[in-house]
Structure 1
């Protein structure tokens, strides 16, 4: 049984990936809070670890986008760039065959026109996006030995059982019978089920796919109104959608920037923006359909909230 090393194993994606791979692989985790009894290494222990038995390294650890805006830029670059740089250098010197770096679509742009493909020009505006892009660019400057494969994955919004975020906010709207007030917006955005992401990672570990950058998203984008209706169908709750004037929405959002309201400017943007991500390149490479449709994945996530 091959060994797989996963950094950030205690996080949302890491814990799901561990469950997904266990049984076929021996999973070894890396985390700031190491626990040898659970097979979790600290980062200090990592650099003393014997890599001769490791088939693949999945680097998930990173500093996530801070919605409260209390983090400084240096924190993002220390974790997302410097740590990645050190780990990737260590990988290149080791006998490990596969390196998978979890970047983000935010390394490209916070707002896009049309559809995001791997050829879209990168111009991130946040420290989070810039730090992710810096790590990507460092990896791409290195010559990859013939016996190794390196993948940079750019997932869009990941969701799954018990994951908190905007889906949880929408669930609260619907479950409590609160009308969804943004019906005036016509948008499309891509989502990514954590099971689909885990499936892609497993395929990259096992298949001789060409090294490079790959977007990861579910097949079909959804409007937020479609999303609200799926939530209602999943929990058997009648959905109310209001088309509140945008000027009133913007006013309430600005108040929410100052007071602890469930709606603020950033959340309104997330719920109503267009952000469509193409997954054609990765699907052509792995030559396999994703296990879950976007609606199936959303329903699984919502059912976990409903429990």
Structure 2
């Protein structure tokens, strides 16, 4: 392979690994996968070790033209750390800053940071989607750490001239997805009745194929330099719509009980699941119009196709 060398951190994770596979398939760039441990990418591309919390583990960046930084301490529903914010900052802020400074010193031209829509906040009012110019209002330690990392990267860009690109995705799904999305598929595949039929909201999601396509676009697009880009599938869905679409892709019927939203929220709060209820019941929409306009970018994968691919992968691998 020949072409610009692109270091992808977090290459064992859902997003980072997908970026590497896309670069390998396209052949226009040479990926270098930065991981914490064993990876199925070994033998497919150069693999280096990286632990963000350990500055001494940072790999050499000589000859790297672009860094796609997807590694992070990710958001978890039940965090047991004694000081949650300090742990997020140690990895997501301090680790990112150390990597970016080393990249700038090595002459890396562009640093693409996979941030989160949680920098903007947790929910939106009807007809008022988040945009990249809104004042950030992170509501939890993860979102705050991502905002602080963004600010630090902008300062590094100003001081060093290295181009920084920030991408804020909402919930990412696709073949091999884990966490809450996987749990939803399991319940739907078992035809378990869910008390979510009365929810009236709108949520922006992003298929892994669409997110990766935007990341690859930002590797060398001239207009990406210095930009902050929101990303989604370009078609928002309500929670009941999403569940019915997933069920259909699984070949099942979604049994959704019309439990009042207020009752769901009260019940969830009583069992310590207030945040989960918020994600199921509230709206969170993003405006990708500026992303489309600045980069001439259009999400290449439709919601229906992405859900079908996700369901097919789940059905093929559920017993493995």
| TM-score in same-fold range (> 0.5) | yes
Q: Against the structure 1 CA distance between its residues 146 and 70, is the aligned structure 2 distance closer, same or farther, given a 3 Å change threshold? A: closer
Distance 1:226 1:243 in 2: 13
| Matched-pair contact (CA < 8 Å) for 1:34–1:40 | no
Which is further off, 275-284 or 185-194?
Answer: 275-284
| Matched-pair contact (CA < 8 Å) for 2:249–2:307 | no
Q: Which of 46, 49, 60 is residue 49 of structure 1 equivalent to?
A: 60
Distance 2:262 2:219 in 1: 49
Where does the alignment leave 5 or more consecutive residues of structure 2 unmatched? none
Aligned match of 1:261: none
Q: Which of 208, 233, 243 is residue 222 of structure 2 equivalent to?
A: 208
Distance 1:282 1:146 in 2: 25
Which is further off, 180-189 or 235-244?
Answer: 235-244
What's the TM-score once normalised by structure 2's chain length?
Answer: 0.86
Aligned match of 2:294: 285
Distance 2:148 2:158 in 1: 18
Asked if 1:219 corresponds to 2:226, the answer is no
Q: Which of 282, 296, 305 is residue 273 of structure 1 equivalent to?
A: 282
Which is further off, 294-303 or 69-78?
Answer: 294-303
Aligned match of 1:64: 74
Aligned match of 1:75: 87
Q: Over residues 26-63 of structure 1, what are the superposed CA-to-partner deviations in whole Å (9 max), with x where a residue is unaligned?
A: 21111233789653222367656252x22211011110
Distance 2:263 2:290 in 1: 41
Aligned match of 2:170: 156
Aligned match of 2:101: 89
Alpha-carbon deviation of 1:156?
A: 0.6
Q: Which of 151, 156, 161 is residue 137 of structure 1 equivalent to?
A: 151
Q: Against the structure 1 CA distance between its residues 240 and 3, is the aligned structure 2 distance closer, same or farther, given a 3 Å change threshold? A: same
Aligned match of 2:304: 295
Mapping for residues 159-170 of structure 1, pairs under 5 Å? 159-170=173-184
Aligned match of 2:248: 233
Distance 2:32 2:203 in 1: 34
Q: Against the structure 1 CA distance between its residues 148 and 239, is the aligned structure 2 distance closer, same or farther, given a 3 Å change threshold? A: same
Aligned match of 2:37: 33
- How many residue pairs are counted as aligned between the two chains? 300
Where does the alignment leave 5 or more consecutive residues of structure 1 unmatched? 258-263
| Matched-pair contact (CA < 8 Å) for 1:117–1:277 | yes
Q: Over residues 145-166 of structure 1, what are the superposed CA-to-partner deviations in whole Å (9 max), with x where a residue is unaligned?
A: 8974320111110111121133
Distance 1:270 1:170 in 2: 13
What's the TM-score once normalised by structure 1's chain length?
Answer: 0.90
* Partner SS, residue 101 of structure 1: strand
